[in-house]
Structure 1
């Protein structure tokens, strides 16, 4: 994986339930052996908390994709996860647009592909 893919930032929206959703997503991601040590919570420029995930190889990115997909398909409320990279790339994933694991996984894979060249 290119060095530019080492850190992915995850933000959860809307604002009101996002703290609980962030905690839930953090726990969900830390349950994965390959992600556990790379998941941190930090404040962003706007004083909102975001998750940062170190994804140091393609396998780890796929574990991240599958973990987010699993988490999104188990949410009962409408939630949006925004993935972003330090160089400015970002993508938003809306759970209400994806009704099953395959659809959510496809959305996330498309977002991750968007950060890769070609």
Structure 2
């Protein structure tokens, strides 16, 4: 069963341009296309943003997700942060400075892969 990851963009631009742009960027990835969804109308996160939801079905899709977010951030002009969150409280942030630092992107990919890979499938 796919893990549902919630993505929120901070600060979100008026009219949610950043969120729509990120959704479009993620849908361009074959492994993510069918799993990207907007939040149902009237539902917002605890911080007031209008998040995206992405279904991630394992380590490979988690790597694609984080790499796609980093690629999107590198092409942004304004300072934004993307927060990834799972229903169990796990969160990770990536911002423009991190997206340009491959060591930080690699560390985030590893954390995201561990977060969405079931315990029994993880390598030691």
Which TM-score band (shorter chain)? 0.7 to 0.9
- Separation in 2 of the partners of 1:80 and 1:106? 17
Task: Provide the aligned length of Structure 1 versus Structure 2.
Answer: 114
Indicate conservation of the 8 Å contact 1:12/1:18, yes or no. no
Unaligned runs of 5+ residues in structure 1 are none
User: Secondary structure of the equivalent of 1:88?
Assistant: coil
Structure 2 residue runs without a partner (length 5+): none
Q: CA deviation at 1:48?
A: 3.1
Task: Please give the root-mean-square deviation of Cα atoms over the aligned residues, in Å.
Answer: 2.4
Q: CA deviation at 1:82?
A: 0.5
- 1:49 match: secondary structure: coil
Shift of 1:93: 1.6
In structure 2, what is the equivalent of residue 71 of structure 1? Answer: 72
1:98 & 1:45 partners in 2: Cα distance? 24
Match of 2:60 in 1: 59
Q: Is residue 35–residue 56 contact of structure 2 (8 Å, CA) maintained in 1?
A: yes
Q: Say whether 1:32 aligns with 2:33.
A: no
1:28-65 C-alpha deviation (Å, 9 max, x unpaired): 00011110110001032445310110001211111111
Q: Do 1:8 and 1:55's aligned partners in 2 also have CA atoms closer than 8 Å?
A: yes
Q: State the TM-score, normalized to the length of structure 2.
A: 0.76
Given that residues 12 and 79 in structure 1 are in contact (C-alpha distance below 8 angstroms), is that contact kept between their aligned partners in structure 2? yes
1:76-116 deviation line (CA, Å, top 9, x unaligned)? 1100000100001112222134435x245225315415636
Instruction: Pick the structure with greater CA Rg.
Output: 2
Superposition TM-score, scaled by structure 1 size: 0.80
* 1:69 Cα deviation after fit: 1.2
